[in-house]
C-alpha cells in the first residue's frame, strides 16, 4: 500500500499513483472471468452502502438542469459526475467485494496474521527509508542520498526523493499526508502484536515506532489521530478481564514516561503543544497558506450545503458551486487559489479537505445521513464483537475505523484502502459465522 512515490498512470485518474489498485483491479477481473463473485447479501452494512451508492446517482439526476450547465477547468458537470462516480464504485464496491471474495478462503485467525505480516514487512521498508531520509533532511547528511537512498529506486513504484525545503518526511509515499494516512491505517495492526505476542518487551516496539514516525514526519493531524487511536486501544483492552494485567502494565508505563517527560522537559513539552495549536491558525508563519486553503474550501462547501440542504448539488459537483464562494480571507495572498484551484488551465479540481462536508454539499442531508448510518452500523458491529467475544479482529477494526473517521475530517476521498479491507473483514467473518451456525 505505501509504495506510490512514482509518476503513476494518468489514465487512472485520482488512482494514478496508487500502485496497489493495479493488483486489486486485476484480482477483480480474474474473479469475474472465473464467475466466482460472491456478494455479502447477509449484511445490513452492505445494503446501507448500496443505498448510499444509489442515492449519489439519484441526487445527481435531481440536479440534472444544473449539472448540464456546469463547466469548470475544461470539464462539464456530466463528465465530472461520471469520473467521480466511477472512482466511487472502484473504492466502495469493487475493492471491498474483491477483498471479501479473497478473505472467504481463509480461517479468520490465519487471515489476520497474513494481513498483519504483509503490513509489517511494508512497515520495515518504510522505517528503513525514513531513517535515511531523516538523516538527510534533518541532519544534512546529503551524501546518503546518492550512496544509499537511491537504492530504493530499485523498488517497484518508488522514486527515491527528499524534501529539503520543508524538511518533511514522506518515505516511499508521494507526500507526508500520504505517509500519515498509511501510519493511521497500520497502527491498529501493530497494536495487535501487544495482544498476541508472548515477548514482554519487543511487542511494544511496532506501535511505538508508528507513533514516533508520525511525530517525525511533521503530519500534525496524523500524529494526533494516532494518539487518539492509542487511547481507544488502551480503553478497549481495559474492558476485558483477559487483558487486565496488560492494561495495568501499559497504564503504569505511560504514567512513568509522562511523569519523567514533564520533570525533564516540561517547558519544551508545553511549548510544543502551544506551537501545534497555533499552527492551525490562519496567521501561523509556517502553515497559514495551507490553513487558509483548507478552511476556505471547507467554508465554501458549507455555504453550498446551506443553499442545497436536501439533495445537494449532485455527486462530484460541489466544486462548480464552491468556486464563487471561496472567502476573500482565504484567497488573499494565496497562490494556491490563483495557480491551482481557480486556474482554468489547471485541470485538477480543488480537494474538499473534509469528506462529510463534501457529501453534505453534494448529496444533501439525505446522502450524508445514509453514509453516517453506514458508519454507525460498522461501529455497532465493533462494539458487539469486542463486548461479547473479546476478539482480536473487533479491536483491530475499531481502532482502524476511529482513525479513518477522524482522517476524513481533513480529506475528502474514499480512496482509503485500509477502510475497505476492514469492511471486507467484517463481511467475511459474519458470513463464516452464519455458515458455522
pLDDT for 265 equals: 57
User: For residue 49, is it within any domain?
Assistant: yes
Residue at grid coordinates 516511499 = 172
Residue 420: pLDDT band with limits 50, 70, 90: very high
User: For residue 253, is it within any domain?
Assistant: no
User: For residue 368, is it within any domain?
Assistant: yes
User: For residue 76, is it within any domain?
Assistant: yes
Environment class of 47 (CB within 10 Å of its CB; exposed 0-12, middle 13-18, buried 19+):
middle
Residue with the larger pLDDT of the pair 236 and 255:
236
Per-residue pLDDT, averaged over 71-83, amounts to 95
Instruction: State the total domains in the chain.
Output: 1
User: For residue 66, is it within any domain?
Assistant: yes
User: For residue 3, is it within any domain?
Assistant: no
User: For residue 98, is it within any domain?
Assistant: yes
Cα 298 to chain centroid, rounded: 18
> Of 22-26, 167-171, 195-199, 407-411, which range is least confident?
195-199
User: For residue 370, is it within any domain?
Assistant: yes
> Of 210-224, 261-275, 403-417, which range is least confident?
261-275
- Of 120-134, 218-232, 249-263, which has the strongest mean pLDDT? 120-134
The answer, yes or no, to whether residue 264 has pLDDT greater than 70, is no
| Contact predicate 158/214, CB 8 Å | no
pLDDT for 106 equals: 93
- State the chain's mean pLDDT as an integer: 89
Per-residue model confidence as pLDDT tens digits over 422-432: 999 999 999 98
pLDDT for 148 equals: 92
Residue at grid coordinates 523498488 = 155
Environment class of 252 (CB within 10 Å of its CB; exposed 0-12, middle 13-18, buried 19+):
exposed
pLDDT for 98 equals: 96
Give the predicted TM-score (pTM) of the model: 0.92
What domain range includes position 69? 38-105+284-390
The answer, yes or no, to whether residue 287 has pLDDT greater than 60, is no
Which set of grid coordinates corresponds to residue 251?
497504564
Residue at grid coordinates 493495479 = 22
| Contact predicate 405/80, CB 8 Å | no
Per-residue pLDDT, averaged over 312-325, amounts to 95
Please give the Cα distance from 148 to 161 (Å, whole number): 12
Amino acid at each position: 500500500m505505501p509504495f506510490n512515490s512514482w509518476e503513476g498512470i494518468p489514465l487512472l485518474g485520482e488512482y494514478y499513483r496508487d500502485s496497489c489498485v493495479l493488483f486489486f483491479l486485476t484480482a477483480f477481473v480474474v474473479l469475474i472471468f472465473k464467475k466466482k463473485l460472491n456478494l455479502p447479501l447477509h449484511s445490513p452494512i452492505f445494503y446501507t452502502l448500496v443505498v448510499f451508492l444509489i442515492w449519489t446517482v439519484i441526487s445527481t439526476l435531481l440536479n440534472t438542469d444544473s449539472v448540464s450547465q456546469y463547466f469548470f477547468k475544461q470539464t462539464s458537470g456530466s463528465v465530472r459526475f461520471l469520473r467521480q462516480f466511477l472512482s466511487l464504485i472502484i473504492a466502495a464496491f469493487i475493492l471491498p467485494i474483491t477483498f471479501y471474495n479473497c478473505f472467504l478462503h481463509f480461517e479468520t485467525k490465519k487471515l489476520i496474521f497474513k494481513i498483519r505480516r504483509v503490513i509489517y514487512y511494508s512497515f520495515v521498508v518504510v522505517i528503513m527509508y525514513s531513517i535515511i531520509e531523516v538523516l538527510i533532511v534533518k541532519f544534512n547528511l546529503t551524501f546518503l542520498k546518492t550512496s544509499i537512498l537511491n537504492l530504493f529506486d530499485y523498488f517497484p513504484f518508488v522514486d527515491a526523493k527528499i524534501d529539503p525545503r520543508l524538511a518533511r518526511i514522506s518515505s516511499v509515499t508521494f507526500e507526508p499526508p500520504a505517509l500519515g494516512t498509511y501510519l493511521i491505517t497500520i497502527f491498529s495492526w501493530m497494536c495487535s502484536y501487544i495482544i498476541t505476542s508472548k515477548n514482554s518487551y519487543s511487542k511494544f516496539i511496532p506501535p511505538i515506532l508508528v507513533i514516533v514516525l508520525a511525530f517525525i514526519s511533521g503530519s500534525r493531524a496524523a500524529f494526533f489521530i494516532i494518539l487518539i487511536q492509542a487511547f481507544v486501544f488502551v480503553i478497549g483492552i481495559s474492558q476485558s478481564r483477559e487483558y487486565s494485567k496488560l492494561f495495568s502494565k501499559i497504564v503504569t508505563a505511560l504514567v512513568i514516561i509522562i511523569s519523567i517527560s514533564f520533570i525533564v522537559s516540561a517547558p519544551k513539552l508545553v511549548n510544543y503543544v502551544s506551537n501545534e495549536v497555533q499552527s492551525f491558525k490562519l496567521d501561523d508563519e509556517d502553515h497559514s497558506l495551507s490553513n487558509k486553503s483548507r478552511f476556505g474550501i471547507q467554508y465554501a462547501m458549507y455555504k453550498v450545503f446551506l443553499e442545497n440542504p436536501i439533495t445537494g448539488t449532485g455527486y462530484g459537483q460541489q466544486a462548480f458551486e464552491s468556486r464563487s464562494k471561496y472567502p476573500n480571507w482565504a484567497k488573499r495572498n494565496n497562490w494556491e487559489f490563483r495557480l491551482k484551484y481557480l486556474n482554468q488551465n489547471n485541470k485538477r479540481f480543488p480537494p474538499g479537505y473534509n469528506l462529510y462536508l463534501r457529501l453534505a454539499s453534494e448529496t444533501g442531508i439525505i446522502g450524508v445521513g445514509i453514509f453516517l448510518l453506514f458508519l454507525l452500523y460498522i461501529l455497532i458491529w465493533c462494539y458487539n464483537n469486542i463486548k461479547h467475544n473479546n476478539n482480536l479482529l473487533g479491536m483491530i477494526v475499531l481502532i482502524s475505523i476511529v482513525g479513518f473517521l477522524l482522517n476524513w475530517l481533513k480529506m475528502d476521498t474514499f480512496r482509503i484502502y485500509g477502510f475497505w479491507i476492514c469492511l471486507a473483514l467484517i463481511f467475511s467473518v459474519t458470513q463464516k459465522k452464519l455458515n458455522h451456525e
